[in-house]
Chains A and B, each alone.
Chain A
Amino acid sequence: MLLALALSALPTGCTADERPSVPAPAQPPPAVTHRAHLRAVKGGVQIKRATADEWSPAREGLPLYENDKVRTEAGAVTDIVFAANGGTVHLGEDSLIGIAETRPRPGQQRTDLTVLRGRIDAELEQPTTQSLSVATPSATIQAGREIVFQ
């Protein structure tokens, strides 16, 4: 009787290595990193979130995340204040920039923002401790403290 019970408890046609796989719990979505915020917004300034398809009007203090884009119309300007290092970037009129990813990748330079069109004026109050990296279609500009990823 006991043997019969023990046999019935064993899974049929299945060895210990062939147990049915338990579905893994769903990976949590990657944390969205607050990279910067807008300040001194003047004129037509728009933002396009990384997850959105449409441009929407930007407003003072709006937080910016990785891969967000900001554009200014003619006569419009805004400042972008980076949260991590306090660096400030003044975005001139008729410009288009993108907030870069923060994840360091071996062999690649770290980038804070990408200028696709127009002009920025950047400022670091404490270049010995702060850094700012700007990528453009033709160059990468590194200011302040030098950061090297191994």
Chain B
Amino acid sequence: MKAALLLLTWLGATPPDTVVVGSDESLRQVAERTIGDPRAAEELQALNGLSSDTVAAGTRLKVPGHERALALKALETARTLLASARDANVPPEASARLQDAEAHFRGARYAQAAAAANAAGKLVAAARAPQSSAFSVEVGDGDSTTVTVKQGPPVRVEAEGVTQPVARGESIRVEKGRPPPAPPPPLVAPSPGQPTDAARLKRRADADGHLGPVKLTWAAVPGAERYEVEVAREQEQRAVFTQTVTTLEAKLPVLPAGRYRWTVRALGTTGRSEPSAPRHFELVPERLKLEVKKGQWQ
């Protein structure tokens, strides 16, 4: 225990390793020499705040430490999980989180990369976990039967020699003496509109330093009656804002500055769609121009 604490203290206290660029050595070569992978040149560039991949001989560069190894391990695990679950129902959010992780990794933001990769892995694992089955059966007027599947794998409804699968979120009504009708097609995920992905939104801060307003828009989905919007901090799972609206836009409340991720789902009588592909935006405070009139006080 003591040894582990000492190791942690040592890891935390040790400054990042450095390396001196040799003569006629490119950044790719430095990456290969120090990290063992020439593709890590992009990380070295980000880590050292270099504007290009050319670097003068004799320059001392920071090289990533143990944090990179941890992030790489998390990233490889997430890649494997997503690849092995290709045929299964992988939530689109998991793929988006993996993309986030890859971007953070290339930008040498290893802690964020590890967090995003772990989140992607968790989403895949959750989607793979067997779900319990829940459904309702209601016998109504004229002995008609309404079957609604709330959770889990599809149930099979048979009548007059015809079997119809009813999937989660779907509902069908079978009239006596008639075969079960084909369920209506499931709702598709809405296509996000504004703001564009990775938009940098400058907004004025209120008295508490919160920024806004931000308006999210998306395209209409046939059969949708409502839309559910979810906004979360880029590195967090928990939503900071959720709203169900009947229009094709949602106005967010004022939020602290930072990076956010948002998705929208369509809701209707046939259930709810998958969430849209996540969109990202960054909220930054708008700098007010201070204009001083020319005069005796200037």
A residues with CB within 8 A of B: 109, 115-128, 134, 136-144, 146
Contacts and interface: CB of A to CB of B under 8 A. Distances in A.
B139 A118 contact: yes
Contact of B136 (A116, A120, A140): A120
Contacts, number: 89
Contact of B134 (A123, A128, A134): A123
Interface residues of B, number: 27
Interface in B135-193: 135-139, 143-145, 147, 152-153, 155-159, 174-178, 180
Contacts of A120: 136-138
Given A127-B152, A128-B130, A142-B156, A118 B138 contact: yes
Contact of B157 (A118, A124, A141): A141
Complex A-B, nearest 6 residue pairs according to Cβ-Cβ distance, in ascending order: A137-B143, A127-B133, A138-B176, A119-B138, A139-B159, A124-B133
A126 B158 contact: no
B67 to A, nearest CB: 40
Contacts of B155: 141-143
Highest count of chain A CB atoms <10 Å: which of B139, B144, B153: B139
Contact of A122 (B135, B145, B174): B135
Highest count of chain A CB atoms <10 Å: which of B133, B145, B159: B133
Contacts of A123: 132-134
Given A138-B175, A139-B147, A139-B174, A126 B132 contact: yes
A141 B137 CA distance: 8
A137 B145 contact: yes
